[in-house]
Amino acid sequence: MDEYKVIHLNSKTYDERTNFADKSTYTYYFKNPIVLNDDYDLAINYYNVKKPLQGNAIIYNSTSTELRSVVDGASLELQLVGAIQDTFIVEDVVVLRNDAIKTPTNARLKISITRNFPETADCTISVLEVTATDTGFDFNDLVLIDKDTFIGGEFTYTNRYGAFLVTAIVDKDVLIRNNTNYGFGSAQIGTWLYNDAGTLIVIQIFQPAGQTIQARINSVSNSRLNYNAGDIISIPNADIKNLATGEYGWNKLYGNLIIDVISTTPFNTPTFKKDLTLSGVKFKNNTYCNSNKSSEPNIISIDLVNKGYDKYNNKQITLIPQVINNLTLTSYNATSVGEDFFISFYLIKKIL
């Protein structure tokens, strides 16, 4: 009988993973079950965690309509009639909806008015930033500004209203590219999961009334922190999972579905606590106790930013004779953004 055994597990080579609001579970199935004919003390031989504490994540809230950014559109010309410097800045320009009555919103822009060429009358308006936001917007909406509210006696115009294009919505960092959103059949209708190097993207295939079958993003979770605006997420047929059946591949025609990263959301945390629990084993209850009313033993508790503590190389629990076919690790605290961990368990035969 072996005097000791070593088990190596990590966050990338799991068999099953489930994400919750405050935790993630990782289940590992052993091809060769671990047979214990005696009591064994389980200790932590090694534990390593890699987790960015700040970076650029992607977020997707399907209900968000809050304006984040716009780009220059059309009818942004002005003609100078007064005396003005080459560039003129205007604050708090009211954003209007592109409807019949040009409805004002609470959104505001900061714009510049710049001569096209020195000593000439022709000028162009450019947006600098959105300084105040409002809701009720969507990608590619046209919004307007009224030149009469800020030109005074310095300018004239051909078109009273200037137009801008909405390019980003708060908490909607990704967008399915329209010219790839086709090629689905009725067999693909349902909910699918794509793992983009740790970022979990849930996609719904559905058929709106009177339209063809298409995809929409339901949610994004566990975002890694190295995205940039302009990145492309290309989803191969074979790499997407049907959440109802667990099978991979949706047989989309005409190429990959492409998701564009329109914007990113900065992520920063002042703390990073890590608690790891173990389940799937039988152990002596009279040698382990905790105060969280959980039957799962806590094997790691550490704070990587503030003062941390660990219990490495100390006995955690005593395992009784059993056959271990699988183990489940539950990782608590801040599991909504990407992380990698590696853990090694040391099983030592208990000597009476």
Which of 142, 169, 196 represents a domain boundary (last residue)? 169
Q: Same domain, yes or no, for 227 and 311?
A: no
Q: Same domain, yes or no, for 256 and 309?
A: no
Q: Which of 250, 234, 116, 104 shows the shortest CA–CA distance to 190? A: 250
What pLDDT sits at residue 291? 52
Q: Same domain, yes or no, for 302 and 339?
A: yes
pLDDT in tens, 114-166: 988 887 889 999 999 999 999 999 999 999 999 999 988 889 999 999 999 99
Residues 241, 247: Cα–Cα separation, whole Å: 6
Amino acid at 117: F
Q: Same domain, yes or no, for 41 and 83?
A: no
Q: What are phi and psi of 53, to 5 degrees?
A: -95, -10
Other Cβ atoms less than 10 A from the Cβ of 68: the count is 19
pLDDT in tens, 283-309: 887 766 555 556 678 777 766 554 444
DSSP for 179-248?
A: GGS----GGG-EEEEEEETTEEEEEEEE--TTS--EEEEEEEESB-SB--TT-EEEE-GGGEEETTT--B
Q: Please check the confidence at residue 26 and state whether its pLDDT lies above 70.
A: yes
Q: Same domain, yes or no, for 185 and 238?
A: yes
Output helix, strand, coil percentages for the chain, rounded to the nearest 5.
5, 55, 40
User: Are 205 and 218 a contacting pair, CB within 8 Å?
Assistant: no
Residues 94, 72: Cα–Cα separation, whole Å: 15
Q: Same domain, yes or no, for 42 and 113?
A: no
CATH number at residue 288: 2.60.120
Q: How confident is the model at residue 315 (pLDDT cuts 50, 70, 90)?
A: low
Say how far residue 66 (Cα) sits from the centre of its chain.
18
Q: Same domain, yes or no, for 189 and 153?
A: no
Q: Same domain, yes or no, for 333 and 257?
A: no
Q: Which of 218, 228, 235, 226 shows the shortest CA–CA distance to 261? A: 228
Give how many domains the chain has, as a whole number: 3
The set of residues, in sequence order, having a beta carbon less than 8 Å from that of 297 and lying 6+ positions away, is: 277, 278, 283, 288, 290, 316, 317
Q: Same domain, yes or no, for 182 and 276?
A: no
Q: Which of 176, 170, 223, 177 shows the shortest CA–CA distance to 64? A: 170
Which of 267, 288, 309 represents a domain boundary (last residue)? 267
Range of the domain at 111: 67-169
Q: Please check the confidence at residue 52 and state whether its pLDDT lies above 50.
A: yes
The set of residues, in sequence order, having a beta carbon less than 8 Å from that of 334 and lying 6+ positions away, is: 51, 269, 272, 273
Which of 209, 234, 267 represents a domain boundary (last residue)? 267
Q: Same domain, yes or no, for 238 and 308?
A: no
User: Are 12 and 47 a contacting pair, CB within 8 Å?
Assistant: no
DSSP for 263-308?
A: --EEEE-S--EEEEEEES--B-GGG---SSS-SSPEEEEEESSSS-
What pLDDT sits at residue 339? 67
Q: Same domain, yes or no, for 160 and 239?
A: no
Please give the residue that has the higher pLDDT: either 61 or 46. 61
pTM: 0.67
Q: Same domain, yes or no, for 281 and 344?
A: yes
